[in-house]
Structure 1
Amino acid sequence: MSRTRFAPDRGLTSRMLITMFLIGLLFVVFVGVLLVVLRGAWPIVVVIAGGLFVVQFWFSDKIAAFSMGAREVSPQEYPELHGAIDRLCALADMPKPRVAVSQSDMPNAFATGRNEKNAVVCVTTGLLRRLEPEELEGVLAHELSHVAHRDVAVMTIAGFLGVLAGIITRVGLQFGMFGGFDRRDNRDNDNTGMAILAVIAVSAIVYAISFLLTRLLSRYRELSADRSAALLTGKPSALASALTKVTGDIGAIPTQDLRQAQPFNAFYFAPALSAREAVGNAFSTHPTLQQRLEQLGKISGELGRG
């Protein structure tokens, strides 16, 4: 993490280290199995994996901005937005990221970029229209915390193994559907089919484990960003108000639109879940609204006592 005035979070650091260690260990085992099973085909795996990582890591900011239809804006176009980010960056003692706006009624905000030099903070016009200045400041502080903690880079690296395993699983299944498992010819075809099945099985297991690990890390980083934003601004109630307000509005937005926006949403205002839907929260990238509000309430109490 770069040196800023965002409150340090040892819990975040320890969970990042543990999760990255487990994912790294999983990656070593996964690559080892692929080398044994695929033998002569391993250079292809290395090239494909390397290419995917380069695209995902170095061009994540451009991909996310393009996918959300975000456009970089000047201080003259959005003076209040730039002014809020200028104040927060000065308060946090960190470089100002690029500022972008997406013309969408979906209330949304996200930060992207592998480091502070490439960072972009984007908000939608729907978010700007719904929030009061103090509420918007809380959301922006949340996103700037992601930048300061280099969450985008960490989550990109952490999620890479899952992406690779998922692609290999899908390709293997499609290969099998188009006759890759045909064993009628000879023993070589039989061995090839068994190798493909082994790769699919290992890839599926690796994908499932890495999926759960990265979801766990992602939920904690969101709580940490809420905490850092509340402590930096000294106004946890403003962030809680933004969460509550936008969550109520987003409940009326079609589910299909939510699914389209979720991959690029670092703040992700999630609608309230029913008891039936709550079971799926273990697989969510974000904590529940209740968890976030409870944490902000505790911080508000701590600041009041101070």
Structure 2
Amino acid sequence: MLGINQLKTAALLGLLSGILVLGGYYLVGDETGLIIGLVLAALSSFGSWYYSDRAALAAYQAQPLDREQAPELYSMVERLSDRAGIPTPKIFIAPTKSPNAFATGRDPEHATVAVTEGILELLSPEELEGVLAHELTHVKNRDTLTQAVVGTIAGAISYLGQILSFGFMFGPVTQDSRRGPNPVGLLFLIVVAPLSATLLQLAISRTREYSADQGSAAITGNPIALARALEKLEAVGHQIPMNGNPAMSPLLIVNPLSAEGLQSLFRTHPSTEERIQRLLQIAQQQAQPAVAA
């Protein structure tokens, strides 16, 4: 299942990059635009790779947490990191009562796990372990890098659309020298490309959450604890919203601003109910060998 989710992520990320390159082509009107799109994709990816952790921590005003301040939390993270086979990340705390957590950093050697004051007060040790193992799986799978790159490329696509919208007020910007103004390119960059980029960004985010839940179950051997934690986080999160830059919400373990129907396409996370059901299925699968024995 993890392999399938990673293939889905690669395919969606490739499609997102393709939209950016195609957007550059339509913006200029010839093959030079393809080069512009590729350069934009490369620069966006590098910038997000190097600076994503600073932006995420600043968005939620997270501060470093010393071992002396939370020795049990440090021991828990060290133990789980060892099981996951990654270096122990830095630990930060966000000063909010909203219960949540996230991981960031360009690779496992430069990773940070952040928790809020609210999540430390809300969850039991077993439930907190499930959440931390989820975040460490994001680090191990380099999801923090993937989300940063995806978000930056999606932002670049939207920026291209804004450039074209502004230019269109003063005359056609997208054109093909052989055919004159290109209305298809205009429609693509102003409407279709930004919307498609947003949907792809959110689809990638949802796919990575499923994989991180599975990784947490494998690390802790206790998917039920994570299921209980998600249930609590969903309930309390609606009562105490997590303030911060909405662009960073895909990093959080839960986003209480859920949606139904067609609005579910714009979710940053899968539904908590679906995640819990999948964790319960994993628990049943883990119990089967013991029953057979």
Same structural fold, with TM-score higher than 0.5 when normalized by the shorter chain = yes
- Percentage of pairs with the same residue: 29
Q: Residue type matched to 1:180 in 2? A: F
- The corresponding residue for 1:300 is 283
TM-score, L = length of structure 1: 0.81
Residue number among 115, 133, 152 corresponding to 1:160 in the alignment: 152
Paired positions, count: 285
CA drift of 1:200 comes to 6.4
Residue number among 8, 17, 20 corresponding to 1:15 in the alignment: 8
Q: State the alpha-carbon separation in 1 of the partners of residues 60 and 42 from structure 2.
A: 26
- The corresponding residue for 1:108 is 100
- The corresponding residue for 2:77 is 85
Q: State the alpha-carbon separation in 2 of the partners of residues 135 and 115 from structure 1.
A: 25
RMSD between aligned residues: 3.1
Give 1:29-48 correspondences, 5 Å limit. 29-36=22-29
TM-score, L = length of structure 2: 0.84
CA gap of 1:11–1:79, structure 2 versus 1, over 3 A, is: same
Q: State the alpha-carbon separation in 1 of the partners of residues 257 and 267 from structure 2.
A: 13
- The corresponding residue for 2:216 is 229
Structure 1, gaps ≥5 residues long: 1-7, 183-192
> Aligned with 2:114: secondary structure?
strand
Q: State the alpha-carbon separation in 2 of the partners of residues 288 and 132 from structure 1.
A: 22
Give 1:139-150 correspondences, 5 Å limit. 139-150=131-142
> Aligned with 1:104: secondary structure?
coil
> Aligned with 1:77: secondary structure?
coil
CA gap of 1:196–1:159, structure 2 versus 1, over 3 A, is: farther
- The corresponding residue for 1:59 is 51
- The corresponding residue for 2:227 is 240
Q: Would the aligned equivalents of 2:101 and 2:119 in 1 still touch at CA under 8 Å?
A: yes
Q: Residue type matched to 1:118 in 2? A: H
- CA deviation profile, 1:116-145 (whole Å, cap 9, x unmatched): 122111001011111111111100000000
- CA deviation profile, 1:257-295 (whole Å, cap 9, x unmatched): 567567245234244857xx3431122120001110110
Q: State the alpha-carbon separation in 2 of the partners of residues 55 and 273 from structure 1.
A: 30
CA gap of 1:262–1:55, structure 2 versus 1, over 3 A, is: closer
CA gap of 1:264–1:117, structure 2 versus 1, over 3 A, is: farther
> Aligned with 2:239: secondary structure?
coil
CA gap of 1:49–1:282, structure 2 versus 1, over 3 A, is: closer
Q: Would the aligned equivalents of 1:165 and 1:204 in 2 still touch at CA under 8 Å?
A: no
CA drift of 1:161 comes to 2.8
- The corresponding residue for 1:249 is 236
Q: State the alpha-carbon separation in 2 of the partners of residues 262 and 135 from structure 1.
A: 27
Q: State the alpha-carbon separation in 1 of the partners of residues 213 and 95 from structure 2.
A: 25
